């Protein structure tokens, strides 16, 4: 009778060990999938970082280009203003000489 109880106990323990082993196997498979997903996400993040860096460089280039155009326009307007001022001064001086 005692031997039978030990056999039943060993069978139960063996069945429980098997279930625990299967449970760990399932957990390991899930962790492997999660690790794969994390690697995939890291790759996606690196791609996005590269795209953002590229867009930033393009934007800086466009801003620099527009800044140069604006500087050129301002310098041109300054020259035009100087010419207009000289014409006005010349007209004032000329009219003062006439009168």
Summarize pLDDT for 24-80 with one digit per residue, the tens: 888 889 999 999 999 999 999 999 999 999 999 999 999 999 999 999 999 999 999
pTM: 0.50
Q: Does 99 fall in a domain?
A: no
Largest Cα separation within the chain, whole Å, is 143
pLDDT the model gives residue 2: 61
Full domain range(s) for residue 54: 1-72
| The pLDDT of residue 9 is above 80 | yes
Angle at 66 between CA 85 and CA 50, to 5 degrees: 165
Contacts of 42 (CB under 8 A, 6+ apart): none
The domain tally of the chain equals 1
Q: Does 96 fall in a domain?
A: no
How many CA atoms are closer than 13 Å to the CA of 96, on its beta-carbon side? 6
pLDDT the model gives residue 37: 94
């Amino acid at each position: 009778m005692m031997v039978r109880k030990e056999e039943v106990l060993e069978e139960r323990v063996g069945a429980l060990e098997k279930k625990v082993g299967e449970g760990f196997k399932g957990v390991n498979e899930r962790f492997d999938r999660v690790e794969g997903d994390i690697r995939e996400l890291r790759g996606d993040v690196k791609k996005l970082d590269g795209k953002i860096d590229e867009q930033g460089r393009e934007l800086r280039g466009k801003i620099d280009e527009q800044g140069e155009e604006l500087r050129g326009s301002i310098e041109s307007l300054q020259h035009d203003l100087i010419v207009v001022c000289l014409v006005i001064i010349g007209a004032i001086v000329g009219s003062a000489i006439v009168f």
